[in-house]
């Protein structure tokens, strides 16, 4: 199972709690921590925190459930009342006996994954501000990625209880074409927004049977499958805060694929089905010998180069690590001049050639185009004009390099700064057609404090991009703590946590920290000094745990 569950145990008498949890951890490959903040930071769109909750288990946080709800209201909690390690062990043993990862599965009811795509567009309970108008605490199901015409499968054995044919009125039929199946134990699943339904009322189906094809019928803004789970009497029994007996389906779902295939494993071409640990190459020129030393020391998996690099840089990176992933930004100076799209494409056509010949396929077209020094107000007036410029560049280069995958560039994040920067999200919205036409989308995430690291305007900026582009491969093409007032030890620890947090976010290909080195201008962000000496960052990042695992047993005596 990939990194979608972490167990929180008290720190007092920790090893007794570890021993109690060990059989369950071994069966389901669950990660373990005694730090509530670490558990929260480790969150992914399908993350569940299995919480050993006792009356005095977390004295610094008070009632731990109340603390989570106050500080991380969107987290999904799997609460195990346990005042002692023995209580936890007994509860977990009941799950093991039933081969049930979560409490909701102990009764034996399980849901198979209903599409061919292991990716969530919108989780259960999300966006309460949108759903309160319908009297719901939040999203009442899971929106699962499913392109038009792709098959939709029954989640479990049952009988078809209802089939709705869409009449074209989304207000009257928000689910569009839909199928409902009743299962044992009073459970019912609903499959919405289908293009066609392939079953009839009363038909008995088995789990995994094709019951329809995906689309976007009804009240929907894009192709996907909406899955709702109900259980008769759940609302009256207090098993859910939702009306109409609606339950969260997530704890009942088995992740698809042998051994639990991670999101995007089928969708993207390099072997790791995870967000790669990346580093931006030298800011101004080819890589130098100390750069390779820093890259290798930090166990970097992906490197971003500029077209100012040398083809030999690619050869050496691959000699050091044959599995390294390399992304390249098409670089030119825009400050103080107008650069037409045909000019830029002509320049890049020759710059790309030796890298394309070496097999590079991922190319970012330009950089932070919402900044004045990068073309805003000079080469384009606004996001819409940049979008047209981008599309023309992409079209021209595709004619020469048909296998190249061109990315929409990372924007300078943040609000408008008169004369310097256009508001990033406004610029993105105006150039939406270009971003959607791109082969992938880049973004930049910067912060100057721990608070910003954990905010939507800082380290979590990818969340908004995922919402806007649920079907796009996304790269964080630059990130860093950009302030001079934070020492590099602290930055390295932040980067390590950030890499780990991003590791299994669906649809993220790689995150590139800025920057390995620079001749000037970025001293507070470089990973090595100009005299060749490394900073603290490579060594501390190298010591990361790419997967959080249970600690070893204590030494004898």
pLDDT tens-digit readout, 395-425: 999 999 988 999 999 999 999 999 999 999 9
CB 139 within 8 A of CB 122: yes
**Which tens digits make up the pLDDT trace of 99-137?**
777 765 545 678 889 998 767 778 788 777 778 778 888
User: Nearest CA to 478 among 440, 435, 525?
Assistant: 525
Q: Which residues contact 190 (CB under 8 A, 6 or more apart)?
A: 141, 175, 178, 179, 180, 226, 227, 228, 229, 230
Which is nearest to 155 in space by CA: 117, 204, 207?
207
Cα–Cα distance, 149 to 147 (Å, whole number) = 6
pTM metric for this prediction:
0.54
Does residue 72 surpass a pLDDT of 90?
A: no
> What percentage of the chain reaches a pLDDT higher than 70?
90
- For domain 276-542, the CATH superfamily is Glycosidases (3.20.20.80)
Model pLDDT for residues 341-395, shown as the tens digit of each residue: 999 999 999 999 999 989 899 999 999 999 999 999 999 999 999 999 999 999 9
Same fold for the domain at 5-105 and the one at 276-542? no
Domain definitions of the chain by residue range: 5-105, 120-252, 276-542
Report whether pLDDT(551) > 80: no
Residues 47, 49, 52: CA angle, nearest 5 degrees: 170
pLDDT, tens digit, 9 for 90 and up, residues 175-232: 999 999 999 889 999 999 999 999 999 999 999 899 999 999 998 877 899 999 999 9
CATH code at 5-105: 3.40.50
Give the pLDDT mean for 242-252.
88
Q: Maximum Cα–Cα distance for the chain, whole Å?
A: 76
- Contact between 228 and 219 under an 8 Å Cβ cutoff? The reply is no
Give, in order, the Cα–Cα distances in Å from 418 to each of 414, 415, 422, 443, 467.
12, 10, 8, 21, 28
Q: Which CATH architecture has domain 120-252?
A: Distorted Sandwich (2.70)
């Amino acid at each position: 199972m990939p990194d979608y569950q972490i167990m929180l145990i008290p720190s007092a008498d920790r090893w007794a709690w570890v021993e109690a949890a060990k059989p369950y951890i071994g069966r389901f490959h669950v990660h373990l921590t005694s730090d509530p903040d670490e558990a929260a930071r480790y969150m992914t769109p399908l993350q569940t925190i299995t919480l050993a909750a006792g009356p005095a288990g977390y004295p610094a946080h008070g009632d731990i459930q109340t603390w989570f709800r106050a500080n991380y209201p969107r987290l999904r909690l799997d609460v195990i009342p346990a005042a002692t390690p023995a209580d936890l062990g007994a509860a977990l043993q009941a799950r093991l006996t039933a081969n049930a990862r979560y409490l909701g599965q102990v009764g034996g009811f399980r849901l198979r994954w209903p599409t061919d795509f292991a990716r969530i567009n919108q989780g259960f309970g999300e966006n309460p501000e949108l759903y309160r108008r319908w009297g719901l605490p939040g999203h009442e199901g899971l929106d699962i990625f499913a392109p038009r015409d792709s098959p939709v499968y029954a989640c479990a054995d049952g009988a078809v209880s209802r089939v709705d044919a869409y009449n074209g009125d989304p207000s009257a039929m928000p689910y569009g074409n839909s199928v409902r199946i009743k299962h044992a134990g009073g459970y019912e699943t609903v499959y919405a927004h289908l293009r066609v339904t392939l079953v009839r009322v009363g038909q008995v189906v088995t789990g995994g049977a094709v019951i329809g094809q995906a689309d976007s019928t009804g009240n929907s803004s894009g192709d996907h499958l909406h899955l709702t789970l109900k259980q008769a009497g759940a609302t009256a029994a207090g098993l859910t805060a939702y009306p109409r007996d609606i339950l969260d389906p997530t704890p009942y779902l088995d992740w698809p694929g042998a051994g639990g295939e991670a999101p995007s494993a089928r969708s993207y071409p390099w072997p790791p089905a995870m967000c790669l640990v990346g580093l931006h190459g030298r800011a101004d020129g080819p890589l130098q010998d100390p750069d390779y030393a820093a890259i290798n020391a930090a166990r970097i998996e992906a490197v971003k180069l500029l077209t100012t690099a040398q083809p030999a840089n690619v050869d050496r990176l691959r000699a050091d690590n044959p599995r390294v992933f390399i992304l390249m930004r098409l670089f030119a100076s825009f400050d103080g001049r107008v650069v037409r799209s045909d000019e830029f494409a002509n320049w890049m056509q020759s710059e790309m050639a030796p890298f394309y010949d070496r097999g590079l396929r991922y190319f970012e077209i330009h950089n932070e185009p919402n900044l004045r020094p990068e073309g805003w107000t000079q080469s384009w007036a606004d996001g819409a004009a940049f979008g047209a410029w981008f599309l023309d560049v992409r079209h021209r280069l595709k004619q020469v390099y048909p296998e190249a995958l061109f990315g929409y560039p990372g924007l300078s994040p943040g609000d408008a700064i008169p004369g310097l920067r256009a508001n990033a999200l406004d610029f993105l919205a105006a150039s939406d057609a270009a971003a959607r036409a791109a082969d992938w989308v880049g973004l930049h995430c910067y912060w100057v404090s721990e608070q910003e690291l954990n905010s939507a305007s800082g380290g979590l900026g990818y969340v908004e991009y995922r919402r806007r582009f649920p079907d796009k491969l996304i790269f964080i093409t630059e990130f860093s703590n950009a302030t001079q007032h934070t020492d590099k030890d602290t930055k390295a620890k932040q980067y390590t946590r950030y890499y780990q947090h991003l590791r299994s976010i669906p649809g993220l290909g790689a995150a590139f920290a800025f920057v390995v080195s620079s001749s000037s201008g970025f001293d507070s962000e470089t990973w090595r000094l100009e005299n060749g000496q490394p900073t603290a960052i490579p060594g501390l990042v190298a010591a990361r745990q790419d997967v959080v695992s249970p600690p070893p047993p204590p030494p004898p005596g």
